[in-house]
Structure 1
């Protein structure tokens, strides 16, 4: 009867849930695909996500596209999913006062963050050339060489002030794109909130 059939049917011989969607694997494959896209293709695919999150206008302005073309090549190698892009670049499109410092980013700040920000601000105010290279050179000289802070910790307060996040696109490229006034305003904003 039916009972014998049930007993004879050994469930362990059946492939356990062959349809189970392996998200980690899918994300890894997707990340590899996303990272390998030509730059313009990556930009085109990222735009709907950026529009959807209100990061850029719908359609993006020429200025927004210019910023995206500059920053996305730095973001593309670090991104797993296209949906991660708005969170990674959103800070570049905000008013300085609208930057929100994430709690986990704030928790990374050490006691010397205020001093790091203060020294950085005065260094940046004196800087005549505003390029990623010039910024890195000037800030490294003050924070790493003079203050003797390891680069890992030296630039954390700046990254947090500029982006509000622990993880962001390359700091100096971001500051170059934001420009001098915005960069200094954001460093000042975080310093005042400490």
Structure 2
């Protein structure tokens, strides 16, 4: 039997990081088993679907390494609507489903509770199809439904506790439960790997598989992804869009690595490992049962490690969208023609050790490409105090006559200026840094001055001195 797994997102918004994890788990499992990964777009909610969301799914999968052309699909659920309706008709004709025109208020009036499920009122009343007549599955009165789950063992559900659930709406359109089952049958899906939030629906879907005469797939329900409050990650409340992390400057490799650790870990006391190791070692039956905490701080630290591991040339290439304004949410504060590739290359290795996401490159190097620095007023107020004017005058005078404009000479010269005033280098260089870069923190000062050049450095120091008058 050829293993066939599927990833079936809905194009109703940005691509959820939890969905990205499920896609990767399915992808790896298919590769390990020599099987097939199928992409199905569940697009039957026409009111919420947009073509750009579908493209967003494809682009996000491309980014994390599941590239177009390497999987089967994408298929679209809406194209299988005829099969969905045919399956509903077969279930009705075989007596496994019946029509019901009860409203929620009707059920509540009979049961006396808004929390009680449907009471089977129309099971044997022979109601036919018609406007407002929903089709309900006739759940067995006795016995149990056993779900074979690679992660959770064999969860068992008493059939008498499963209400006769709706499989087609009053207008005849099948609901998600039935459409999902029919699609999986049509596509020959053998394993369904998805989040545990779908587990309550699984006995219903398994009953549908059996009623339609097809052996159910093997299930694997991975732990739900939660935030720091142990609440399920929500699009309305949490930062969950994979595209947002991509656009902020997270590396695909770091994101892949981190997502695969949500509920699973490689062998040994390690977390940051090559993707080949993850592909080789990942096992569904080793996935934890407890909820998986999506820790953005930890992800950011992961990303910093991945950035620092890049060869400098690759780091320079990776930064280009933020430096040139292409493909990023916010353009840089300089014009394209102001960007100096050689100047950036000169400081790239220094910047690489100081950032954790690629978008941080802009405030670290903007002083190199602007006519004048962007002054952080809080930094100015904190640094430019009594004595700063005199210190800048002395530093300008010393720098003007400096024979060799290199980092070592600049450092020793400023150290001497400070020593004459009883100041250590840290105190001496603070006003110079703010005058030249606009900030109190950033790249190593003297290497920065070397790249900026004598003329631009002195111009900025003089401008700062005039502001202190």
Following TM superposition, the consecutive aligned residue runs of length 4 or more in structure 1 with deviations greater than 4 angstroms are none
Counterpart residue number, 2:319: 46
Superposed counterparts of 1:3-152, under 5 Å? 16=230, 17=232, 18=291, 21-52=294-325, 53-54=331-332, 55=334, 57=336, 64-95=340-371, 98-109=372-383, 110-143=385-418, 145-152=419-426
Asked if the contact 2:436/2:461 (under 8 Å) is kept, the reply is yes
Q: What is the SS of the residue equivalent to 2:366?
A: helix
- Of 28-37 and 104-113, deviating more is 104-113
Further displaced range: 145-154 or 16-25? 16-25
Give the corresponding residue for 1:168: 442
TM normalised by structure 1 equals 0.84
Partner SS for 1:68: helix
For structure 1, the residue ranges without an aligned partner over 5 or more in a row are 6-13
Match of 2:187 in 1: none
Structure 2 CA distance, aligned partners of 1:135 and 1:118? 15
What is the CA deviation profile of residues 32-72 of structure 1, one whole-angstrom value per residue up to 9, with x for unaligned ones? 111111100110001111112334628x86xx121111111
C-alpha distance in 1, partners of 2:318/2:434? 27
Distance 2:378 2:292 in 1: 37
Give the root-mean-square deviation of aligned CA atoms.
2.3
Distance 2:308 2:356 in 1: 8
Deviation of the 1:118 alpha carbon: 0.7
For 1:28 and 1:73, locate their aligned partners in 2 and report how far apart those are by CA, in whole Å.
18
Aligned partners of 1:128, 1:38: CA distance in 2, in Å? 34
Aligned-pair CA distance for 1:108: 2.3
Q: Matches of 1:134 and 1:121 in 2, distance apart?
A: 14
Q: How many residues align?
A: 179
Q: Deviations over 1:89-121 (max 9, x none)?
A: 0110111xx323111210221312111111100
Encode CA deviations 1:161-189: one digit per residue, 9 max, x unaligned. 11001212111111111111110000011
Looking at structure 1, the residues matched to 377 and 429 of structure 2 have their Cα atoms a distance apart, in angstroms, of 17
Is the 8 Å Cα contact of residues 49 and 83 (structure 1) preserved in structure 2? yes
In 1: Cα distance, 2:382 partner to 2:428 partner: 12
Q: Which has the larger radius of gyration?
A: 2
Q: Which has the higher strand share?
A: 2
Query: 2:319 touches 2:358 (CA, 8 Å); kept in 1?
Result: yes
TM-aligned CA deviation for residue 141 of structure 1: 1.1
| TM-score (norm. length: structure 2) | 0.36
**Cα displacement (A) at 1:21:** 3.0
What are the ranges of 5 or more consecutive residues in structure 2 without an aligned counterpart?
Answer: 1-112, 117-160, 162-223, 233-290, 326-330
Contact 2:366 2:373 in 1 (8 A): no
Residue pair 2:304, 2:357 contacting (<8 A) in 1 also = yes
